[in-house]
Amino acid sequence: MGWLAATLAAILIGYGVAGLAGGALPAHPDWRPPPPPAGRVEIFVVSNGVHTGLVVPKRAAGVDWRALFPAGDLADPRFGGWDHLAIGWGERTFYLETPHWADVRPATILAAALGSRRTLLHVEHVPRPIAAPDVRRILLRPAEYRRLAAFIRGARARDAARYPGYGRDDVFYESNGRYSALRTCNAWTGDALRHAGVRVGRWTPFPATLLWSL
C-alpha cells in the first residue's frame, strides 16, 4: 500500500502547488479600483478560514436583491432589516449536513471533491462588515457591480427550492453549477470577481490564495 500513499501524497502536493500558482497569477492585472467620488459600489470578500463568500449591498447601482432573496424566506424576517447580503456557494451535502466543523467527515469531503451537481447558494442577511484580517474591501464601478450581480443571479437555479439555514438570518437556495476539487466554494468566489473584471487570481481553490490575490 506504500505506492498508494505515495500517489495520494503526490496528488495532494500537486494540488496545493497548483492552487498557490493559480492564486499568484492574476486575471485582469491592470484593473484598479475606481477613483473617488464617481459612482463606486463597496463589496467585501469574507473568509472563515475554510470558506469564502461575497458581501454585497442590497441596493446599489440599479441592483436590488430584495425580490430575489426576500426577508420572508428567513426563519425570522426581522433580520431582513440588515442592509447587506453575504452570499456563498457550495456542495449541498457539505452545507446541509455539516453545520459545524466537528460534523465534517472524510467521506463528505471526498464525495464533494470528486464532483457533485447538487449545489446551493447560502444567503445571509447581515450588516456591513467591519475591518478584519479575514475581510477584503473592494470598490467597483457600477458596470462591474452589475456584472457581478449577473453572475450571482445565474448561480441561483430557476424556481429554486429553499432550505432552512443554520440560524434565523440565513437560508439556502438550490443552485446551478458543479462542485469539485477544481471548482470549490473559494474558486466560485474568484470566478465571480473575475466575471466582474476585478484583479484576482486565475484559480483560487483556497481561501488564503483568494485573499492574497486581492
Q: Give domain limits for the chain.
A: 39-213
Query: What number is the average pLDDT over the span 40-58?
Result: 96
State how far the Cα of 208 lies from the Cα of 23, in Å rounded to an integer: 9
**Which cell numbers hold the place of 214?**
486581492
Strand duo 170-175 + 59-60: pairing: unpaired
Highest mean pLDDT among 14-28, 103-117, 128-142: 128-142
Residue 32 has pLDDT above 80, yes or no: yes
**pLDDT tens digits, 92-114:** 988 887 665 555 566 555 555 66
**What pLDDT is attached to residue 16?**
85
State how far the Cα of 58 lies from the Cα of 153, in Å rounded to an integer: 13
State how far the Cα of 11 lies from the Cα of 161, in Å rounded to an integer: 36
Residue 44 has pLDDT above 90, yes or no: yes
Query: What number is the average pLDDT over the span 51-56?
Result: 97
pTM for this prediction: 0.91
State how far the Cα of 174 lies from the Cα of 187, in Å rounded to an integer: 18
Residue % of the chain over a pLDDT of 70: 87
Q: Is 87 exposed, middle or buried (0-12, 13-18, 19+ CB in 10 A)?
A: buried
